[in-house]
Chains A and B, each alone.
Chain A
């Protein structure tokens, strides 16, 4: 044992005595040090986002195929979406991304109050997005554009327009679900931040939530032009 060299000994000590690192936040027993723990968390989060890319990728692929097959019907369906509300929501989501990024920055600088404020701002923007989304859904319901039993649409391409709305609701629905989960998680983080759990020494959960939130923003950055703006073009027949 005594012959062992520095790093190993250090690993043994920090591994078996996590309380030595208390001022660096909670070090779990199976990690050698905080750096290893934080990097593992970041790597894990990125891998999770990779799965999310493929998850949305699957439905985007389906959308691409159907849009290729039924180009005109999809343009017609898209023309029924509210571009104004879509644009407002895009702007709101970019605001929330900014506040999220600044929240991570606040945590890095150990500014607890600022951190709490920015997290709340992010949730408020996220909530506003969902409210507007809800209003849009409600409009679609009133117009009988919700796919399924109550769908009504006159015209030769009714089936394909139905398909467009199926994609619209599936994609925006999954996206909204991700936002709801994100906001739920952020409520918990806000409480923890208020309690003073996070500082420059330990802010990994805030950073991970930031990654997730920005990813959800990126999904919307693609969904917005693909769904809303497809019917807006002059050549898109409407």
Chain B
């Protein structure tokens, strides 16, 4: 079969050409050219930098948590401080890293290129979204300085509304503002996918990365406003004392949980869906095979987005929620596992008999597959009514969502970084260090979080820094894993930055990948393509050789002429 004949990616060799003379990075210089840019690629870089910054802050808090938990007694800090540390870890990681991560960086950069457009539909709104993100971030950082916040990232009432003495309102306003950045990003993606596709790019020819972002955008559009109003009401509650969530004033605290989880459960899918989109790209590329079950993967993204909205109550099984509603939520939670499983099985089928090679992005993708599966399956324990009563608010759930968030979303993010870095910068990073850090990450991650499953199952509750002595071994293992994890995060920063100057020139298509983004120069020109591309075939056609084409400046990529199919 032609798959056998497809060239192994190992024949990459050095790219002989040079970086293009003019590209989006050198078309203008100076702070102003960055801060006032409307180029989606530059906005993506702005996001990359700020998100990395927030990841570092969130990681720092994680390090403090793990240090504290090395010993069974709270000898590093007081309980009040510990509360603030884990809250800020959660707030920063969820709202300022995970939710924007892949959409705002790689979605912004590659979605327009994948659909053959010059930019997103609303470039200025796109820039505004970065500013809103930054302003929201500044509020949150100000809250850290103003004494931190100790409610947990969920801002549960009445703790956040009545009893907390920390900077809740400031943080809440920060998160509220940040929500609009997410809304703007989602809005931009949906409109762009509907209206900006290149001629011939029908829906069934879209890369699965685009489908995944479409689904995630639906959640951003329909979910974010609800959490915005919930958090807005908390801020109003604290500042004016209106009492909507305050039982002392007749309000209802569980109501807050409904509004919060209506968004914050689907928000998990905002984090994981784009990551799944990355998986589809990476696994197809490094298996040198057409993706298996394209339509099923695309449809399952939408199914996750829709069904994901119907399961929020599984966070509230022990809150006093009606048992009937809990049953419905439990059944629907089982149901949402189906489309996720459909994806995993399709990726496995794509790997089957593929010419697999183990480049860095693929190692991260393998990490994703295993860890996401563990995270997803342990989610079923928590979606089951009876077992949840035992496992609720224990380290089991901490381990579960870190397997999804770190094992899934962060692995996907790093896979994306390593997959598209050559396209974004025009340079290759060190494959040795890349593979090494991917391996370290996998080991460190499992060492950190697997013991937490055991701890949770034995009954260690989350959000406490005292625990019985017999749990110390597992906690020390977890902390040891966290230090490996920390190193595995730091190494890429070093070799990626190093590659910017000393890395070999990548050429337009170092991975011999399919997709419109690989048909243009690396780094891409300011308007992405010299000429608007025309799409004539299905995505992921790895059956034929894809050369690392040298693109002479000024000439468009070669593609066979074809009658342009209608847009939309």
**Are chains A and B native binding partners rather than an unrelated pairing?**
yes
Chain A residues with a Cβ under 8 A of chain B: 1, 3-8, 11-12, 15, 28-32, 36, 39-40, 43-44, 47-48, 50-59, 61-62, 65-66, 69-70, 73, 147-149, 159-160, 162-163, 166-167, 169-170
Q: A28-B123, A30-B117, A147-B241 are in contact. List 7 more A-B contacts (CB 8 A).
A: A44-B125, A51-B187, A58-B225, A147-B242, A159-B248, A170-B236, A170-B244
Instruction: Choose among A8, A11, A12, A73 the residue with the greatest number of B CB atoms under 10 Å from its CB.
Output: A8
Residue of B at shortest CB range from A166?
B242
B226 touches A5 (CB 8 A): no
B121 at the interface (CB under 8 A from A): yes
Q: CA–CA, A138 to B329, complex, Å?
A: 45
**Given the complex of chains A and B, what is the CA–CA distance between A195 and B565 in angstroms?**
40
CB neighbours (8 Å) of B531 from chain A are 1, 4, 8, 12
Is there an interface contact between B244 and A166, defined as CB atoms closer than 8 Å? Answer: yes
Given contacts A4-B561, A30-B117, A52-B225, contact A66 B255 (CB under 8 A): yes
Q: Which 7 A-B pairs have the closest CB atoms?
A: A58-B229, A55-B225, A166-B242, A159-B250, A30-B119, A30-B118, A54-B225
Q: Does B386 contact A (CB under 8 A)?
A: no
* Total A-B Cβ pairs within 8 A: 148
CA distance A157 to B538 in the complex (A): 66
A sample of 19 cross-chain residue pairs with beta-carbon separation below 8 angstroms, ordered by A number, consists of A7-B199, A8-B199, A30-B120, A36-B196, A40-B122, A40-B191, A40-B194, A47-B186, A47-B187, A47-B190, A54-B226, A57-B225, A58-B229, A62-B233, A62-B255, A70-B250, A147-B240, A147-B243, A166-B243
Contacting pair A148 B241 (CB below 8 A):
yes
Q: Are B259 and A51 in contact (CB under 8 A)?
A: no
Residues in A neighbouring B325, C-beta threshold 8 A: none
Residues in chain B near residue A29, CB distance under 8 A: 118-119, 527
Judge whether A44 and B564 touch: CB under 8 Å. Answer: no
Interface: B534 (CB within 8 A) = yes
| CA A159 to CA B567, docked complex, whole Å | 58
A169 cross-chain contacts in B, Cβ below 8 A? 242
**Chain A hits for B251, CB < 8 A:** 66, 163, 166
**A65 lies within 8 A of B255 (CB):** yes
Instruction: Choose from A6, A8, A48, A163 the contact partner of B243 (Cβ within 8 Å).
Output: A163
Q: Does B13 contact A (CB under 8 A)?
A: no
A54, closest chain B residue (CB): B225
Q: Are B252 and A65 in contact (CB under 8 A)?
A: yes
Nearest-Cβ distance from residue A147 to partner chain B, whole angstroms? 5
**Nearest chain A residue, comparing its CB with the CB of B217:** A47
Contact of A148 among B223, B242, B252 (CB under 8 A): B242
- Docked-complex contact A57 and B199, CB < 8 angstroms: no
Q: Is B1 an interface position by the 8 A CB rule?
A: no
Q: Which residue of the partner chain, among B122, B125, B258, contacts A61 with CB atoms under 8 Å?
A: B258
Which of A6, A30, A55 is close to B229, meaning CB atoms less than 8 Å apart?
A: A55
Cα separation A8 to B561 with both chains bound (whole Å):
10
- Check B255 against A5 for contact (C-beta < 8 Å): no
Q: Which residues of B contact A36 (CB under 8 A)?
A: 195-196, 567
How many residues on the B side are at the interface (Cβ–Cβ under 8 A)? 54
Give bound CA distance, A59 to B234, whole Å: 12
Contacts known (A8-B564, A44-B191, A51-B224); A170 close to B242, Cβ less than 8 A: yes
Q: Is the CB of B243 within 8 A of A162?
A: yes
- The reply to whether the CB of B563 lies closer than 8 angstroms to some CB of chain A is yes
Given contacts A5-B561, A65-B255, A69-B252, contact A47 B191 (CB under 8 A): yes
Q: Are B122 and A44 in contact (CB under 8 A)?
A: yes
Interface 0/1 of B100-137, CB less than 8 Å to A: 00000000000000000111111101000000000000
Expressed in whole angstroms, the Cα–Cα distance for A7 and B200 within the complex equals 11
Tell me which of A6, A62, A69 contacts B259 (CB under 8 A): A62
Measured in the bound complex, the distance between the Cα atoms of B260 and A61 in whole Å is 12
Which B236-276 residues have C-beta < 8 A from chain A?
A: 236, 240-244, 248-252, 255, 258-259, 262
Bound CA–CA A51/B183 (angstroms): 8
Complex-state Cα separation, A163 to B228, whole angstroms: 20
Cβ contact within 8 Å between B224 and A7: no
Taken together as a complex, chains A and B put the C-alpha atoms of A95 and B418 apart, in Å, by 58
In the complex, which of the residues A6, A40, A61, A70 contacts B196, with contact meaning CB atoms closer than 8 Å?
Answer: A40
B255 surroundings in chain A (CB, below 8 A):
62, 65-66
Q: Is the CB of B187 within 8 A of A44?
A: yes
CB distance from B115 to the nearest CB of A (A): 12
Return the chain A residue nearest B189 by Cβ: A47
Q: Say whether B187 contacts A8, CB under 8 Å.
A: no
Alpha-carbon gap, A65 to B321, bound state (A): 13
Q: What residue of chain A has the Cβ atom nearest to residue B256's Cβ?
A: A62
Bound CA span A166–B244, Å: 7
Q: Are B250 and A61 in contact (CB under 8 A)?
A: no
Q: Does B222 contact A (CB under 8 A)?
A: yes
Residues of B within 8 A of A43 (CB): 121, 190-191, 194-195
Residues of A near B118 (CB, < 8 A) are 15, 29-30
Q: Which residues of A contact B262 (CB under 8 A)?
A: 58
Please, which residue of chain B has its CB at the minimum distance from the CB of A3?
Answer: B561
Considering the complex, give the chain A residue whose CB is closest to the CB of B184: A48
The residue of chain B having its C-beta at the shortest distance from the C-beta of A169 within the complex is: B242
A59 contacts B233, CB within 8 Å? yes
Is B556 in contact with chain A by the CB < 8 A criterion? yes
Task: Say yes or no: B187 contacts A66, CB within 8 Å.
Answer: no
- Chain B residues with CB below 8 A from A28, complex form: 123
A3: B residues at CB distance < 8 A: 561
Task: Give the chain B neighbours of A163 by CB distance below 8 A.
Answer: 243-244, 249-251
B221 contacts A by Cβ under 8 Å:
yes
The interface residues of chain B lying within 8 Å CB-to-CB of A56 are 229
Q: For A44, list chain B residues within 8 Å (CB).
A: 121-122, 125, 187-188, 191
B259 contact set on A, CB distance < 8 A: 58, 61-62
Q: How far is the CA of A48 from the CA of B186 in the complex (A)?
A: 10
CA distance A147 to B563 in the complex (A): 66
Q: How far is the CB of B236 from chain A (nearest CB, A)?
A: 7
B532 touches A167 (CB 8 A): no
| A58 & B226 in contact (Cβ 8 Å cutoff) | yes
**In the bound complex, CA of A49 to CA of B563 (Å):** 37
Interface membership of B230, Cβ < 8 A? yes
Q: How far is the CA of A142 from the CA of B250 in the complex (A)?
A: 23
CB distance from B403 to the nearest CB of A (A): 30
B244 touches A51 (CB 8 A): no
Give A39 to B194 CA distance when docked, in angstroms: 10
Q: Mark B165-201, 1 if CB is under 8 A from A, else 0.
A: 0000000000000000001001110111011100100
Given A44-B187, A51-B221, A51-B224, A39 contacting B195 (CB threshold 8 A): yes
**A170-B190 Cα distance, complex, nearest whole Å:** 31
Q: Provide the bound-state CA to CA distance between A32 and B227, in Å.
A: 37
Instruction: Using A58-B225, A58-B226 as known contacts, say yes or no to A5 and B564 having CB atoms under 8 A apart.
Output: yes
Give bound CA distance, A12 to B241, whole Å.
Answer: 58
List residues of chain B with CB within 8 A of the CB of A47.
186-187, 190-191, 221
Cβ contacts under 8 Å, A32 to chain B: 532
A40 touches B225 (CB 8 A): no
Q: Are A66 and B252 in contact (CB under 8 A)?
A: yes
Q: Which residues of A contact B183 (CB under 8 A)?
A: 48, 51
Inter-chain CA distance A81–B241, complex, in Å, is: 21
B190 neighbours in A (Cβ, 8 Å): 43, 47
Given the complex of chains A and B, what is the CA–CA distance between A44 and B564 in angstroms? 26
